[in-house]
Amino acid sequence: MLGKLLKHEFRATGRTMLPLYGAVVALAVLANFSIRMLTGNVGPLLTIFFGLIVAAFVICIIAAAVMTLVLMIKRYYTNYLKDEGYLMHTLPVSVHELVWSKMLVSVVWFAATFVVIGLVMLLTALIQTGTSLAQFFAGFPSWAEIRAVLASEGIRMGDLWLIALELLLAAIVSGLYTCLHFYAAMSLGHMFAKDKILLSIVFFVGISFVLSFATTGYGAGRLVSMEHISATLDTAQQTLRFIRAIIAEAMLLELLESAVLYLATVLSLKKGLNLA
């Protein structure tokens, strides 16, 4: 049943996100043309016109990032905490499947938005500097050169792949954590009969404060030991392992916090949700 929920959610959110990505790409094309025109000798009216196109492109990029977050919040709120919740909570699916369907789809859109904006900005920079993709990649060292440098430092390619994998996992965990932060606050706020939106905001601020306090306290304690360890690092391989350890530790801490938020979300939906 989770697969059906995911399919439905992708269809519903895709109606918003895909046209938005199309608008970003279309405005990127127009903005690149406008920038080229602005560097030439054009009249004041055309200068204003092309300037507005460039401004619209920048606004559209910001809107794409913001809309991804807003859509994640709106879908959860509308489907589970408003009138639609009467139907959604009677489906033959568990609360866990309901929550995971929203989280997984949101994380995919987070990643897609990051990729689209990154590619558009990269291509814009290349076009404006007159650099082709071939010239761009030609500026990077070859795999043989990279391996030679790494080997001289005692680092294997596998170590780099591992750190890349850890960074990817950390990004996924961060996306899940972001979703759960909002879900938990909204679910807790909607356990009450009145002022649900206000209480959701209060819970969000309260959760943020508690988690920030816990993270800061833990980080301060670890900073002393990390400074001691970093002072003893003699080789690039040891430094790389130290960096991997920091990433893994930060990810595990965020996983623990996500587990607490997930538990709060599920229990609120199961035991105390007030749709009246």
What is the structure's pLDDT at 241? 73
Tokens 């890349």 correspond to what residue?
A: 164
Yes or no: say if 91 and 79 are a contact pair by the CB < 8 Å rule: no
Separation between Cα atoms, residue 151 and residue 272, nearest integer Å: 58
- Domain boundary (140, 159, 182) is at 140
Residues 113 and 198 reside in one and the same domain: no
What is the structure's pLDDT at 89? 74
List, as one string, the DSSP characters of 34-92: HHHHHTS---HHHHHHHHHHHHHHHHHHHHHHHHHHHHHHHHHIIIIISTTHHHHTTSS
Count CB-CB contacts under 10 A for residue 153.
11
Residues 129 and 227 reside in one and the same domain: no
Residues 133 and 149 reside in one and the same domain: no
Residues 165 and 234 reside in one and the same domain: yes
pLDDT in tens, the chain (276 residues): 788 889 989 999 999 999 999 999 999 888 888 877 777 676 778 788 888 888 999 999 999 999 999 999 999 999 888 877 777 778 788 899 999 999 999 999 999 999 999 999 888 887 777 766 666 666 666 667 666 766 676 667 777 788 888 889 999 999 999 999 999 999 999 888 888 899 999 999 999 998 888 777 666 555 555 555 555 555 666 677 777 777 888 888 889 999 999 999 999 988 877 776
Residues 155 and 120 reside in one and the same domain: no
- List the domain range (segments joined by +) for residue 218: 142-276
Residues 82 and 70 reside in one and the same domain: yes
Tokens representing residue 181 in the block: 């932060």
Region of 266 please: left (phi>0), alpha (psi -120 to 50) or beta.
alpha
Tokens representing residue 126 in the block: 């290349």
Residues 113 and 125 reside in one and the same domain: yes
- Domain boundary (140, 172, 193) is at 140
Residues 104 and 172 reside in one and the same domain: no
What is the structure's pLDDT at 226? 57
Residues 6 or more apart whose Cβ sits within 8 Å of residue 275: 81, 82, 83, 85, 86, 190
Instruction: DSSP letter for 82, please.
Output: S
Tokens 């269809």 correspond to what residue?
A: 11
How many CA atoms, within 13 angstroms, populate the side-chain half-sphere of residue 139?
6
Residues 113 and 191 reside in one and the same domain: no
Tokens 């404060």 correspond to what residue?
A: 209
Separation between Cα atoms, residue 263 and residue 207, nearest integer Å: 13
Residues 6 or more apart whose Cβ sits within 8 Å of residue 106: 68, 71, 72, 75, 175, 179
Separation between Cα atoms, residue 255 and residue 258, nearest integer Å: 5
Q: How many domains does the chain have?
A: 2
Residues 120 and 227 reside in one and the same domain: no
What φ, ψ does residue 162 adopt, rounded to 5°? -65, -45
pTM summary value: 0.84
What sign for the dihedral angle of Cα 22, 71, 67, 182? negative
- Domain boundary (89, 109, 140) is at 140
Residues 192 and 275 reside in one and the same domain: yes
Yes or no: say if 187 and 265 are a contact pair by the CB < 8 Å rule: yes
117, 121, 247: which is closest to 172 by C-alpha? 247
Residues 9 and 43 reside in one and the same domain: yes
